[in-house]
């Protein structure tokens, strides 16, 4: 089954286009975008986190050794995917950098830049059965090239698109539709998500995975009407119990 494809419920035009994956929770994956071990451990206990994405900026802010951090995550948590980003601008340097991560754990996903050299490296890694995450995607054309290179995941940056007056959610929809039309297996991993609204919209428009900062993940539970309803129920429980 191609998970990016959409269907329309009811009379044409009366309902929004909804991805099949939206109906089957097992197809919706949530990754955490952080290098904070304690934040990961706390949210891992919910059973709702499927993987981790990292990048040099997050690692620098956390002050951890990158290789040791990736090893610790792989050892301590049973994640579907842990993205480890490579350094370097050339194919040779990227592959050399990737080699330090490859024998750690099957969950390791090599994260590569969406450049010509990055895609050549992606192609070789994919042909060896290694999972890859091609990052910093800002156009459907770039997503085509990543799919051709055999990427496991493509990461469109939703928030950064919005910062530059383009719709990041619409980019996710364009990539998902394009992949559906051609039966592409590369998964759309919506990244740079800064609010709950964009999370749900990206999933609605075909993203297979969303990666969230811990603070956004925590807000996924919340709604002011849920809080108001619980306050009423708590008051009524007190009256029932006398």
Q: What is the dihedral of CA 113, 67, 72, 119, to 10 degrees?
A: 20
The CB density around residue 116, as the number of other CB atoms within 10 Å, is: 11
Rounded CA-CA distance 206/16 in Å is: 13
- Residue 191's SS3 state is strand
Residue 61 is a catalytic residue: no
Residues paired with residue 187 on neighbouring β-strands, in sequence order: 153
Catalytic residue among 111, 116, 187, 238, which?
111
3-state helix, strand, coil in the chain (%, to 5): 50, 20, 30
Exposure on the CB side of residue 136, measured as CA atoms within 13 A: 10
Which residues are annotated as catalytic?
A: 111
């Amino acid at each position: 089954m191609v998970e990016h494809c959409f269907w329309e419920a009811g009379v044409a035009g009366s309902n929004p286009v909804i991805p099949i994956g939206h109906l089957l929770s097992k197809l919706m994956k949530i990754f955490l975008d952080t290098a904070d071990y304690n934040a990961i451990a706390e949210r891992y206990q919910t059973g709702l986190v499927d993987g981790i994405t990292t990048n040099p900026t997050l690692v620098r802010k956390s002050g951890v050794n990158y290789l040791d951090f990736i090893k610790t995550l792989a050892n301590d948590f049973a994640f579907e995917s842990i993205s480890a980003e490579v350094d370097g601008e050339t194919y040779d340097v990227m592959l050399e950098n990737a080699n330090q991560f490859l024998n750690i754990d099957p969950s390791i996903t090599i994260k590569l830049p969406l450049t010509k050299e990055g895609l050549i490296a992606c192609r070789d890694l994919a042909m060896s059965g290694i999972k890859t995450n091609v990052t910093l995607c800002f156009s459907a054309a770039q997503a085509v090239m990543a799919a051709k290179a055999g990427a496991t995941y493509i990461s469109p940056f939703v928030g950064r698109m919005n910062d530059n007056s383009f719709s990041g959610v619409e980019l996710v929809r364009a990539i998902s539709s394009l992949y559906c039309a051609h039966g592409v297996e590369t998964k759309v991993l919506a990244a740079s998500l800064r609010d709950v609204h964009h999370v749900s919209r990206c999933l609605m428009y075909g993203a297979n995975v969303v990666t969230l900062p811990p603070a956004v993940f925590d807000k996924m539970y919340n709604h002011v009407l849920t809080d108001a309803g619980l306050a009423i129920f708590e008051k009524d429980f007190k009256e029932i119990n006398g």
